[in-house]
Amino acid sequence: MKYHPLNPEIFIRNRKRFMERMVKNSIAVFVSNDEFPANGDALHRFKQNSDLFWLSGITQEDSMVILFPDNPDPKYREVLVLTRPNELKEKWDGKRLRKEEATAISGIQTIVWLDNLDPLLQQWIHLADSIYLDSNENDRKASLIRTREYRFIDEMQHRYPLHQYLRAAKIMKELRAIKTEYEIEVVKKAIEITHQTFLRLLKFIRPGVMEYEIEAEIIHSFLTQRATGEAYHSIIASGDRARTLHYVFNNQECKDGELVLMDFGAEYGGYCADLTRTVPVNGKFSKRQKQLYDACLHLHNYAKSLLKPGITIVDYTEKVGEEATRQFLKLGLITKSDVKNEDPENRAYRKYLYHGISHHLGIDVHDVGTRTDPIRPGMLFTVEPGIYVEEEQVGIRIENNVWITRNGNIDLMKNIPITTEEIERCMKK
């Protein structure tokens, strides 16, 4: 790993939180992600199962975490399963974790090699009444590929058909949404790397630069600061391309007089930052660009003022929509007639702001968490309103990361330049 070792208390605390929610005399088994084939004999870069990482901090393939808090043998109440180091494989793919290294990362004292697991797991399953198995229950899940966790579910239910099976993901969805102070410290590091990268970009951007050159600066800056890499594929969209929400081509020239929307974030220690800023390519906002930008910033600050414990994302989005309507009337984007005659299911403001305002953030950029229950202290959200005007060929989005506390919220990106004056001043330098 590129990043400095994390405090294992993160994972010790996470496992404790999960085990406190398990029913009596139950066992939970979490498996790592597949190594996905690319083309030929190549594999895609391995990405660990987020739930397994949340419990252990282990990024190595072919790993498992087994939790059995009522196991009669205390040694086996927390178990980390790893592939036994193999000299030939290490010559090709590099060093694999030794037991003491895995314990230092995860805080788990009992390490079992994968080739020794079957007889032990059978004993533990026979002692348990219920089995928690993991699945991908992210609301935005789009892939129907039957991944390793689902194949493992099939295998377990075939081998042990009379046990009661329970959904680990249901607990995970609630627990992972509430970030501990240990987790937030790692997120802050990812944010600081992203902050320094943005300052670098403000000095780099100029008319004639290519979108992919900005992307290259981002990756270079991330890696030199020990980030794992990008938390997601960076969006570098100048001019009218900024109206495409997930624009990833990043292959066009940034021209004088245009704005460039940059949506990027570092991943550090398994946790993600997610920043969006929109800046003038030539370093100076035009009068109209400033009007649109300031309206978007107003919506951003208004949304932050609402994002507190007790409100639901549905109600929060509705209130931001009401304020967007008022702002878009002032900007001349919509008329009172548009508002009077709007479809309640497709309101007038949606022509210029056609996405959600916030999503959960954490190990995954679109992290798991409820969208219908009231917001609770400890949740971490993006705040990212936008204004997209086809007639003017411009798109603006402003995004910060906000941690919810009992007394309101904390903007973890409050020190990153955000006003037109701050951005122009930094670009001038």
Burial class (CB in 10 A: 0-12, 13-18, 19+), 186: buried
Residues 382 and 271 in one domain: yes
Instruction: Say what the pLDDT of residue 150 is.
Output: 96
User: What CATH number corresponds to the domain at position 249?
Assistant: 3.90.230.10
Residues 321 and 185 in one domain: yes
User: What CATH number corresponds to the domain at position 99?
Assistant: 3.40.350.10
Query: Is 1 domain-assigned?
Result: no
Residues pairing with 31 in the sheet: 64
Residues 130 and 228 in one domain: no
Instruction: Say what the pLDDT of residue 56 is.
Output: 98
Inter-CA distances, 131 with 29, 68, 71, 233, Å: 8, 9, 13, 36
Q: Determine the Cα–Cα distance for residues 233 and 254; give it in Å rounded to an integer.
A: 19
Residues 375 and 266 in one domain: yes
Could you tell me if 403 and 409 are in contact, meaning their C-beta atoms sit under 8 angstroms apart? yes
Residues 212 and 84 in one domain: no
Pairing of strands 164-167, 64-67: unpaired
Instruction: Say what the pLDDT of residue 89 is.
Output: 87
Residues 122 and 94 in one domain: yes
Residues pairing with 230 in the sheet: 266
Matching residue, tokens 């900005």: 214
* Token pair for 19: 């085990």
Residues 200 and 262 in one domain: yes
Query: Is 2 domain-assigned?
Result: no
**Phi-psi domain of 252 (left: phi exceeds 0; alpha: psi -120 through 50; beta: other):** beta
Query: Is 324 domain-assigned?
Result: yes
Q: If you write DSSP's letter for every residue of 330-355 in order, what string do you get? A: HHTSS-HHHHHT-BTTB-GGGGT--S
Residues 364 and 378 in one domain: yes
Matching residue, tokens 């899940």: 141
Instruction: Say what the pLDDT of residue 309 is.
Output: 96
Residues 249 and 320 in one domain: yes
Could you tell me if 377 and 406 are in contact, meaning their C-beta atoms sit under 8 angstroms apart? yes
Residues 336 and 254 in one domain: yes
Q: Determine the Cα–Cα distance for residues 84 and 98; give it in Å rounded to an integer.
A: 8
Q: Determine the Cα–Cα distance for residues 164 and 129; give it in Å rounded to an integer.
A: 7
Could you tell me if 105 and 14 are in contact, meaning their C-beta atoms sit under 8 angstroms apart? no
Could you tell me if 11 and 50 are in contact, meaning their C-beta atoms sit under 8 angstroms apart? no
Query: Is 4 domain-assigned?
Result: no
Within 13 Å, how many C-alpha atoms sit on residue 402's CB side? 27
Residue at which a domain ends, from 143, 176, 209: 176
Burial class (CB in 10 A: 0-12, 13-18, 19+), 166: middle
Instruction: Say what the pLDDT of residue 58 is.
Output: 98
Query: Is 41 domain-assigned?
Result: yes
Matching residue, tokens 């199962």: 49
Burial class (CB in 10 A: 0-12, 13-18, 19+), 21: middle
Residues 160 and 198 in one domain: no
Q: Determine the Cα–Cα distance for residues 416 and 429; give it in Å rounded to an integer.
A: 16
Query: Is 149 domain-assigned?
Result: yes
Query: Is 156 domain-assigned?
Result: yes
Could you tell me if 165 and 27 are in contact, meaning their C-beta atoms sit under 8 angstroms apart? no
Could you tell me if 59 and 48 are in contact, meaning their C-beta atoms sit under 8 angstroms apart? yes
Could you tell me if 77 and 69 are in contact, meaning their C-beta atoms sit under 8 angstroms apart? yes
Domains contained in the chain, number: 2
Q: In what order do the strands lie in the sheet with 266-268?
A: 229-230, 266-268, 271-272
Q: Determine the Cα–Cα distance for residues 233 and 248; give it in Å rounded to an integer.
A: 7
Instruction: Say what the pLDDT of residue 63 is.
Output: 98
Instruction: Say what the pLDDT of residue 364 is.
Output: 97
* Residue environment code for 290-302, b if the CB has 16+ CB neighbours within 10 A, otherwise e: eebbbbbbbbbeb
Give, as one character, the DSSP assignment of residue 231.
S
Residues 6+ apart with CB under 8 A from 246: 235
Query: Is 72 domain-assigned?
Result: yes
Q: Which domain holds residue 151?
A: 9-176
Give, as one character, the DSSP assignment of residue 28.
E
Residue at which a domain ends, from 176, 210, 228: 176
Residues in the chain predicted with pLDDT less than 70, given as ranges, are: none
Residue at which a domain ends, from 150, 176, 202: 176
How many residues can be counted in the chain? 429
Residues 272 and 410 in one domain: yes
